[in-house]
Each structure stands twice: as C-alpha cells, then as structure tokens.
Structure 1
C-alpha cells in the first residue's frame, strides 16, 4: 500500500487539485478558428461572386469539435458555447472591428468581395473556406 501511495504522490495524482477547464471562448485555438469561420461566412453571404467551400467548411467544423473534445469538452459544453447569445454578440462585435481594421465597408458588397478574393489569394484560413464563382 505504501508503494502505491508513493507512486501516486510522485506522479502527482494525489494531493493536487483538479484543474478546471476554461470556458471554450477562452481557448484561443478554438475561438479564433470559429471566428475565422464566421468571417468567411459573412464574406460569402455579402459577396455575390464568392461562395463557400461547403465540404471544407463541414470538415473544418468537425475538426474543431474533435479538437474541443480532445481538450476534454463534452458535446453539451461545445453546443452551449456555439449556441451562446453572449458569445455570438461578442464575435459579431469582434467581426465588426476586424472588418473595419481591414478596410472593409460593410455596406458595400464589393468591399467584401475584394477582401474575400485577397484572402483566397493568400490561402489564409479564411480564404481556404471560400471560392470565387
């Protein structure tokens, strides 16, 4: 019994508090990736000459879900994050600031198109989710 206790203590399994998971909106790898997906979606909705790479977007979403699960998040926690009105509002505000910083006039579809084409040309994560028609 003493040997087991020594092993548990040396491995750190006993006597240490369990680390609490951060909310998913604080996990930069997930939150930033979801943000980029949202930016790509806004571009395709507002630019008549750019569409989504649907299969790639579905694969991307599934990969994000798998990454979150690998970090220990449950399907319910992931769904709560993606359905959260507070997080949706936060990401919309972040998107507005992002588009402004990139010089996108959100009242002009051609401005979205120019941004989208530039992202496609750069092969950025946003651009990889889009295609010119």
Structure 2
C-alpha cells in the first residue's frame, strides 16, 4: 500500500508543473485581444473622425473574459492580471510600440485617424471595434 501511495504522490507531483497555467500575459488569446481593444480605444479617443462600436467592444470584452474562464482562470486571477500596475505598464509599452511601428505621431490626431481607417479597411480586430464618422 505504501508503494502505491508513493507512486501516486510521485505522479501527482510530476504532473503539477505541466498542469500549471501560464500567466495570463502569456496567453495570446487574452493578452493580444486586450491590446487590440486598448488600441481601438486609444484611436477613437485621439481621432475626432472615428468612434467606437461600443456594443461590439462590450461583447468583445466579455468574450475575452469568457476565454480566460474557459482556460481555467479564476475571477481573482483575471482581476489580478487586469489591475496589475506592471501589466498595465507592459501593455502601454506594447501599444506604444504598435503605434510607432504603424506611423502614428502621438502629437498628431490625424495620424491616429490614418491608422484607424487602415484598420477599419483591413477588417482587423482593431478595425472591427471602430467606425469612421
């Protein structure tokens, strides 16, 4: 009996690291989706010619949340990720890099408009959250 218990415990301990969930920042289906949502929000705030598709954005946010839940993350884990100052800073840096790589001059609202129109035209995930006025 002792050998069986030892074997079961050994298997459980070996399986634990493999079964551990990655940090939400490493789950592209969540992290990249939140980045796109944030970029769409920033574009609509900076460009006077573009507005948000708010109902679509709310639905999109709910889908991200459900994705995290379906992957086994708890509400506490999701909230910790969402509220983390480190994650917010990392996400802002990712967003700034995306804007720069796509030619946005943060002092020029029209450059946000150009990016927004491009994203809308491409029917990208960011573009699907925006509407040209």
Q: TM-score, normalised by structure 1?
A: 0.87
State how far apart, in whole Å, the 1-side matches of 2:35 and 2:88 are. Answer: 10
Post-superposition shift, 1:97? Answer: 1.1
State how far apart, in whole Å, the 1-side matches of 2:80 and 2:103 are. Answer: 33
Q: Which runs of 5+ in 2 are unaligned?
A: none
State how far apart, in whole Å, the 2-side matches of 1:41 and 1:85 are. Answer: 19
The answer (yes or no) to whether the contact 2:49–2:113 under 8 Å persists in 1 is yes
* 1:107-122 matches, cutoff 5 A: 107-122=107-122
State the Cα deviation string for residues 48-89 of structure 1 (Å, max 9, x = none).
Answer: 111110000000000000010000001111111111110110
Q: Tell me the number of residue pairs that the alignment of Structure 1 and Structure 2 aligns.
A: 125
State how far apart, in whole Å, the 1-side matches of 2:65 and 2:101 are. Answer: 29
Dislocated runs of 4+, deviation >4 Å: none
The answer (yes or no) to whether the contact 2:68–2:78 under 8 Å persists in 1 is yes
Q: TM-score, normalised by structure 2?
A: 0.87
Partner of 2:11: 15
